Amino acid sequence: MNASKRIFLAEVREQPAALLTLLEHLDDFVTVGRACAERKPTAVRLVGHGSSDAAASYGVYAFGLLPGWTALRDSISLSVYYGADLDYSSSVVVALSQSGRTPDVVTYVERARERGALTVALTNDPGSELASRAELTLPLAAGEERSVAASKTFFNQLAALALLAGAAAGREEEIWDGLRRTAVVLADAIPELEAAVAPIATAFAYVGRMYVIGRGYELATAREIALKLTETCRVAAEPLTSTDLAHGPIAALDSMFPVWTIASHDPSLPALVEAAARVRAAGATLVASGSAAGEIEGAEWRLPVPAAPLPLLSPLLSVVPGQLFAAALAEAKGFDPDRPERLTKVTLAQ
């Protein structure tokens, strides 16, 4: 792949630096976090599309585990298209968008604010339409992202959600320090991970379908890796929880249908180990990634990552092997990961 087709890969490598830039905005996150806490929300409603929606899956756990709030990936359609007359007066809305220009996300924020929500825009463009519609704005500080396939944006969205939830809980210093150490660990790990994905990509050049399995806060990781494989490699990749696998999808497995598992040292690990055993029994090729990759018996391929400084921050490390694998697999298939077919950087149509 020539230099013009290495933008996505370059931006994956830039993620540790992007995270350190985000951490320079701690005061902004503390201000917004305190404002959210003063609202005493009964729900945190997270909205976004694509990678932003995958990041919202992580936000459910960040807000649930840090301030102890109920958080959910809310329905944009219910408000924007169906006009449901919902009461948002006890809600905090966090809208995630790289560009800040996705029309239905902007409209959702407008309507939620009109109905009493405290609205927070989390965007890479503080001058965007989304930022102007929300009551409060936080920067992603990911820098310019030129590749259509997002990497830095998703990565900093995870960090920003953890930092905002930490600030709401009065634990911002702990989360800030954990994120800083994560950046250092990741910078050291990326070269070795790049080398490790290359032979797997060569072996998987034939692959047209795949499951990606994660549980708990690693479900966000699974959703993002599946999205990257779909958009950059034309692999029909479906994200599943370990329990989802047993409720129907396992029937599709065979020796030509690989499964990627994301294993971290957290309370959900036993369920992931059990799912991996089901995959092996079905005869499918198994890839094990994450800090607990060594716990997955019978994996043909392993992509371990270092343990995160705080368990909640594990997805920031776990997602990187999937990003690097998508870049390598696209090259093996002869595709351009920077300019996927029929995709643009900003989705302007509703």
Let me know if residue 349 belongs to a domain: no
Let me know if residue 339 belongs to a domain: no
Domain boundary among 138, 170, 202: 170
CATH number of the domain that residue 86 is part of? 3.40.50.10490
Residue with tokens 């702990």: 174
Let me know if residue 342 belongs to a domain: no
* Same domain flag for 153 and 8: yes
Segments forming the whole domain that contains residue 238: 190-333
Number of domains in the chain: 2
Burial class, 189, CB count within 10 angstroms (exposed 0-12 / middle 13-18 / buried 19+): middle
pLDDT in tens, 86-142: 999 999 999 999 999 999 999 999 999 999 999 999 999 999 999 999 999 999 999
Let me know if residue 185 belongs to a domain: no
* Same domain flag for 118 and 209: no
* Same domain flag for 69 and 21: yes
Q: Which helix (H) or strand (E) holds 103?
A: helix 103-114
* Same domain flag for 249 and 151: no
* Same domain flag for 139 and 253: no
**2 has a pLDDT exceeding 50:** no
Which carries the bigger pLDDT value, residue 142 or residue 336? 142
pLDDT in tens, 139-184: 999 998 888 788 999 999 999 999 999 999 999 999 999 999 999 9
Q: Which pair of structure tokens corresponds to residue 10? A: 């370059």
* Same domain flag for 141 and 210: no
* Same domain flag for 216 and 299: yes
Q: Give the per-residue pLDDT at 5.
A: 55
Let me know if residue 178 belongs to a domain: no
Q: Are 15 and 320 in contact (CB under 8 A)?
A: yes
- Name the residue among 226, 214, 198 with its Cα closest to residue 301: 198
Average pLDDT of the residues in 228-234: 95
Which carries the bigger pLDDT value, residue 1 or residue 248? 248
Average pLDDT of the residues in 195-209: 95
Q: Are 131 and 93 in contact (CB under 8 A)?
A: no
CA distance 45 to 74: 5
Domain boundary among 116, 138, 170: 170
Average pLDDT of the residues in 248-255: 89
* Same domain flag for 105 and 201: no
Domain boundary among 170, 201, 227: 170
Q: Give the per-residue pLDDT at 74.
A: 97
* Same domain flag for 35 and 110: yes
Q: Which pair of structure tokens corresponds to residue 296? A: 């997955």
pLDDT in tens, 191-200: 999 999 999 9
Q: Give the per-residue pLDDT at 248.
A: 87
Let me know if residue 327 belongs to a domain: yes
* Same domain flag for 221 and 321: yes
Q: Give the per-residue pLDDT at 341.
A: 63
**350 has a pLDDT exceeding 50:** no
For the chain, what's the residue count? 350
Task: Tell how strand 209-213 and strand 136-139 pair up.
Answer: unpaired
pLDDT in tens, 31-90: 999 999 999 999 999 999 999 999 999 999 999 999 999 999 999 999 999 999 999 999
CA distance 157 to 160: 5
Q: Are 242 and 272 in contact (CB under 8 A)?
A: yes
Let me know if residue 184 belongs to a domain: no
**4 has a pLDDT exceeding 60:** no
* Same domain flag for 117 and 55: yes
* Same domain flag for 249 and 204: yes
Q: Give the per-residue pLDDT at 138.
A: 98
Q: Are 162 and 179 in contact (CB under 8 A)?
A: yes
Q: Give the per-residue pLDDT at 340.
A: 62
Let me know if residue 286 belongs to a domain: yes
pLDDT in tens, 7-22: 999 999 999 999 999 9
Beta carbons within 8 Å of 210's beta carbon, 6+ residues apart: 226, 229, 235, 236, 237, 238, 257, 258, 259, 260
> Please, what's the largest Cα pairwise distance for the chain?
54
